[in-house]
Amino acid sequence: MIRTILILILLFGSTVAASGNHYSESTDSATSLEHIRNVCGVELSRCELSVYRGDELETRLNSEKQTVVLLPGSKVDYFVPYKQNYIALGARNDNSTIDRDGKIQVSMKHTLYDDGQAKKLFKEKFYMGYSFKTVWRVWEPSSPFEDHNFDLELFYCSDDANCDSLNQQLAGFQHRYYVGLEHESNGRDGTDSRSWNRGYFRWLTWQGRHAYSAKLWYVGQHGKNNEDIEDYLGYSQLQYDYRGDHIISAMANVGPRGNVLLDWAKKSGKTATLHYYAQLFGGYGESLLYYNEKRYAFRIGIRLYQ
């Protein structure tokens, strides 16, 4: 039954993406503002906006070309995608066996300021990020989840103008950096508990459709059951992204063992907010519970607009 529901969700998502209705990736900010007016049921200036009001929201939408997600009858909460958001099905090979499974990730971030004095102090530079990732043994009896990984971050972004997107129209190489604190755990206790706390520095540079980043971290605290986690997940992370009609990403954790993650995505419709998505993983640490076990996995599914 669960497998049938999941397949129906995937088919429904592709259909919605192809039609491009409701939450479209519109490059016309006026359309987005009109949508806000319709949902709020009043003029924009009277909406209860938690972050932006009036011309500020219009300016933000113009600069980022992103959709503000609204729930009928509620105010605007300006959450934006952070890491990848996807659901994918496929198979993995670990311990010389091949198993079919699924993988889900949800990730978002929010600025740490409001419309008052805090906004003047933070200047949109401080963020809170949250990511949830799970491997789902969807094809097994009762379809259990293998492991839930929770990742909470507080970080600073050096860009005064806009840390939520990359402006591909600027000439030459552009740069920004991030400094943050990160806690990741699987929420379990006893011998299955896994966690680590890190401080990190990340450098990002991009030109046009190409982006490059390097992330270095220092582990301040380990869980007692994963004191050797750096031997498997490394001390740094390198990433390359190409963003055109096809979106390609390659990410590697660098260390004594490490891992590699390759992603491909393509819009499922001209104005769609969903992408067709494929992922290839090889190495250690796909889930915290089995961080010290090597595996290879290939999955396909759908991804939200990034």
Q: Average pLDDT, stretch 138-149?
A: 88
pLDDT, residue 174, reads 87
For residue range 12-53, what is the model confidence (pLDDT) as tens digits?
A: 444 444 444 443 444 444 455 555 555 544 444 334 444 444
Contact 76, 51 (CB under 8 A): yes
Query: Which secondary-structure segment (H or E) carries 31?
Result: helix 29-40
Kindly give the interhelix angle for 55-64 and 29-40, rounded to the nearest 10 degrees. 130
Residue 285's Cβ-count burial label (10 Å; 0-12, 13-18, 19+) is buried
Q: Average pLDDT, stretch 259-270?
A: 91
pLDDT, residue 249, reads 96
pLDDT, residue 202, reads 97
For the chain, what percent of residues have pLDDT higher than 70? 66
pLDDT, residue 121, reads 63
For residue range 72-120, what is the model confidence (pLDDT) as tens digits?
A: 444 445 678 889 999 999 999 887 788 889 999 999 998 877 555 555 6
The stretches of 123-233 forming alpha helices (DSSP H) are 230-233
With a cut of 70, say whether residue 260 has pLDDT above it. Answer: yes
Contact 136, 172 (CB under 8 A): no
pLDDT, residue 192, reads 94
With a cut of 70, say whether residue 207 has pLDDT above it. Answer: yes
> Hey, what CATH topology would domain 2-26+80-304 get?
Outer membrane phospholipase (ompla); Chain C (2.40.230)
**Is the whole model's pTM more than 0.75, yes or no?**
no
Cβ neighbour number for residue 273 with a 10 Å cutoff: 22
pLDDT, residue 288, reads 95
For the chain, what percent of residues have pLDDT higher than 90? 49
Helix (H/G/I), strand (E/B), else coil: 43 = coil
Listed in order, strand segments (DSSP E) in the chain are: 80-81, 86-94, 97-111, 126-136, 145-157, 174-185, 195-207, 210-222, 236-243, 246-254, 259-267, 274-283, 295-304
